[in-house]
Amino acid sequence: MRVGIIGTGLMGGPMTLKLQASGYQVTAYNRTPEKLKSLAEAGVAIATSALEVLQSSDCTLLMLTNGEAIAEVILNPTTRPGLADHTMIQMGTIAPTETKTLAQQVRDCGGNYLEAPVLGSIPEVKKGTLLVMVGASEADFEQWCPLLQTFGPKPLHLGPVGSAATVKLAMNQLIASLTTAFALSLHLIQQEGIDVEAFMQLVRQSALYAPTFDKKLQRMLDHQYSNPNFPVKHLLKDTRLFLQAANDLGLEGSMLEGIAKVLEKSGDRGHFDDDYSALFEGIALRSREG
């Protein structure tokens, strides 16, 4: 099968290589050509436009930053004709309303659309153990499940388009909330001079423990956030998407508004492109330099 991929950034690049290693004929495109160099060196076919990807593939995966970027790339007058009789699989994190609108626009062009956002990061891409959430018709899920199993052994069909986007936002809201809550407690422990390991021993034995606490603990203690699997800027974007969805449904989201402010403050302190554990730097009222 010939598979195209548009968007070869932090996750898209490793996903491209995973597809290639699994025996697919892959063609990749990115609006920033520099992000294609390592893929070209690995033998991946490189396209000079999104239309070229569509014309050379049986289906195309989308791993772009947001819904606006997707619309700009695939729904412009140049690319639209290539959508006819083509299947688009949207795998990034966008709002439920955005994915439903995109699905209709692709169908209006004579194409097919399903969503398959994932939970996990670069290590899980390489191992093929991502959690793949699918919003699609039953027929589309059955047809494209073997391809999606490249990234995770058991893709989960959650319902029609929009359902997977909703669940993905719900999962990322937990990432933001759990990590911020842990960072706040850790700050309190440190500032009161309590032994961190003693605190962690209690946490690990309690029903409150989440494995992500230990995954991010050392980064926070060392204030080292380079080589991110998921950067602050993306978690902030997803937090804002969840807030909008919650507001649309009349849900109380003020707690998450505070978390968004923590993420914004971390970014203002120079951590937008760092691992999201850098939200630890947004907890303190003053920066460490201050």
Rounded average pLDDT over 171-183 = 98
Q: Are 232 and 267 in contact (CB under 8 A)?
A: yes
**215 flagged as catalytic:** no
Catalytic residue among 18, 168, 216, 233: 168
Alpha-carbon gap, residue 116 to 61, rounded angstroms: 9
- 131 in any annotated domain: yes
Pair 183, 131 in one domain: no
Pair 148, 14 in one domain: yes
Pair 57, 137 in one domain: yes
Distances in whole angstroms, Cα of residue 254 to Cα of each of 213, 259, 262, 278: 23, 9, 13, 22
Pair 110, 137 in one domain: yes
User: 274: phi > 0 → left, psi -120 to 50 → alpha, else beta; which?
Assistant: beta
Pair 16, 147 in one domain: yes
CATH number assigned to the domain comprising residue 8? 3.40.50.720
DSSP character string of 54-111: HHT-SEEEE--SSHHHHHHHHSSTTTGGGGTT-EEEE-S---HHHHHHHHHHHHHTT-
Q: How confident is the model at residue 290 (pLDDT cuts 50, 70, 90)?
A: very low
pLDDT tens column, 25-66: 999 999 999 889 999 999 999 999 999 999 999 999 999 999
pLDDT tens column, 98-145: 999 999 999 999 999 999 999 999 999 999 999 999 999 999 999 999
* Residue 287 in this model has a pLDDT that exceeds 80: no
Structural domain for 117, as ranges: 2-160
User: What is the SS3 assignment for 188?
Assistant: helix
* DSSP, res 275: B
pLDDT tens column, 188-212: 999 999 999 999 999 999 999 999 9
* Residue 79 in this model has a pLDDT that exceeds 90: yes
